[in-house]
Amino acid sequence: MNDLVLTNARIVLDDNVVHGTLIARNGLIRLVDEGSTQAPGAIDCDGDFVIPGLIELHTDNLEKHLMPRAGVLWPALSAVLTHDAQIVASGITTVFDALSVGDLEEESVRIETLRSTYDAILAGQASGALRADHWIHLRCELAYPRLLEALEPLMNHSSVRLLSLMDHTPGQRQYQDIEQYRKYYSKNHMTWTEEEFADVVKRRVDQQASYSARHEKAVLDLARGRNVVLASHDDTNAEQVAHAQHIGVTISEFPTTLIAADAAKKLGLTTVMGAPNVVRGGSHSGNASALDLAKADRLDMLSSDYVPASLLHGAFMLHTHAGWSMPRAIATVALNPARALGLHDRGQLTPGYRADLVRMRAMDGLPVVRQVWVRGERTF
């Protein structure tokens, strides 16, 4: 027998928090009980919280390790392993690595590193070198001219479980205000004269007219019959949400307005917002506040997006700043993503489920990860 016993812990269940003991055996939770134990080898959690391992469905964090400095490309497998270590240290035990298939900007690191990164993730899985359970989220840039030739070779692996349909054309969605588009890319040291910027916007709009609609249809055809979940991205209005629901989308990623979030709620889509939005107190690009959506009951899940540590921090702030119970707050980063992605063996501390566990405590309002287990094996 291979028992893991955590005792004297505040265990966050689906509907309440119990002070007690959790026992796991051979990678699965076997017992959750109130009261403490003096069993040999039991870990005294000293009153810390024990929560399900976090599930991250959209993270760009890997990109920072692929290009640690401007113009510097790092070996892909090394980048994946470093990303994996940071993910686990943040309490994330299941991660959907978001790989952008295409980009509207020329000479993009996303285009350059797509295949090598995809292969490195699969190599890390096959070798057993990864601590977290890694899956692949393919972000399909619909207006990218060569989208289909880049996407098709990636679709056959069973680790591909999530596709998002994106369109970053200036003048709509995230960049409804085209000045936000200019501001965003100026951070990447892109500068344009007024004439050059007008030409860039026109070319992007022309690309959208030429490719987006037919690429959307082709992506849906590729997804049909596969075990993949579809997400929309940066919905701004009710019409975009209705279209997404009509074509089979079940997750609304980062709606930019309360109007879009309202529409997603009415149509039964699961809404995910960025945890950095919660931690920072608002969107970095001037879009809807995740805390406002939470207070309006328009938020179902969080994603760490570009800061892995924000996932637990953001969920904890839903408890401390939005008045949510701990079970409801933790569900946004565990149970709800598990259900939305069809992972029915994790996301809650229930006998028979995977022993993906995080021990954490709050220090001055900041949740601090102390220990992490994946399938009952200590990984942090």
Backbone angles phi, psi at 177, to 5 degrees: -90, 110
Q: What is the CA radius of gyration of the chain?
A: 21
Task: Indicate whether 295 and 225 sit together in one domain.
Answer: yes
Task: Indicate whether 105 and 222 sit together in one domain.
Answer: yes
Q: How far apart are CA 279 and CA 276, in angstroms?
A: 5
Task: Indicate whether 109 and 13 sit together in one domain.
Answer: no
Task: Indicate whether 202 and 351 sit together in one domain.
Answer: no
Tokens representing 51 are: 């929560």
Question: Within 13 A of 66's CA, how many CA atoms are on the CB side?
Answer: 21
Question: What residues make up the domain containing 365?
Answer: 1-52+347-380
Task: Indicate whether 244 and 305 sit together in one domain.
Answer: yes
pLDDT digits (tens, 9 = 90+) for 273-283: 999 999 999 88
Q: What is the pLDDT along the chain (380 residues), one digit of tens a residue?
A: 569 999 999 999 999 999 999 999 999 999 999 999 988 899 999 999 999 999 999 999 999 999 998 889 999 999 999 999 999 999 999 999 999 998 877 667 788 899 999 999 999 999 999 999 999 999 999 999 999 999 999 999 999 999 999 997 765 666 666 666 656 655 555 666 777 767 777 888 888 888 999 999 999 999 999 999 999 999 999 999 999 999 999 999 999 999 999 999 999 999 999 999 999 998 876 789 999 999 999 999 999 999 999 999 999 999 999 999 999 999 999 999 999 999 999 999 999 999 999 999 999 989 999 999 999 999 99
Task: Indicate whether 28 and 114 sit together in one domain.
Answer: no
Q: What is the pTM of this model?
A: 0.93
Task: Indicate whether 36 and 171 sit together in one domain.
Answer: no
Tokens representing 156 are: 């056959």
Residue 38's CB is within 10 A of a number of other CB atoms, namely 7
Task: Indicate whether 58 and 41 sit together in one domain.
Answer: no
Task: Indicate whether 320 and 355 sit together in one domain.
Answer: no
Task: Indicate whether 5 and 143 sit together in one domain.
Answer: no
Q: How far apart are CA 94 and CA 135, in angstroms?
A: 8
- The residue type found at 92 is I
Q: How far apart are CA 306 and CA 275, in angstroms?
A: 9
Task: Indicate whether 311 and 352 sit together in one domain.
Answer: no
Question: In this structure, what CATH number is given to the domain that contains residue 221?
Answer: 3.20.20.140
Residue 227's CB is within 10 A of a number of other CB atoms, namely 9
Question: In this structure, what CATH number is given to the domain that contains residue 5?
Answer: 2.30.40.10
Domain total of the chain: 2
Task: Indicate whether 311 and 332 sit together in one domain.
Answer: yes
Q: How far apart are CA 138 and CA 340, in angstroms?
A: 16
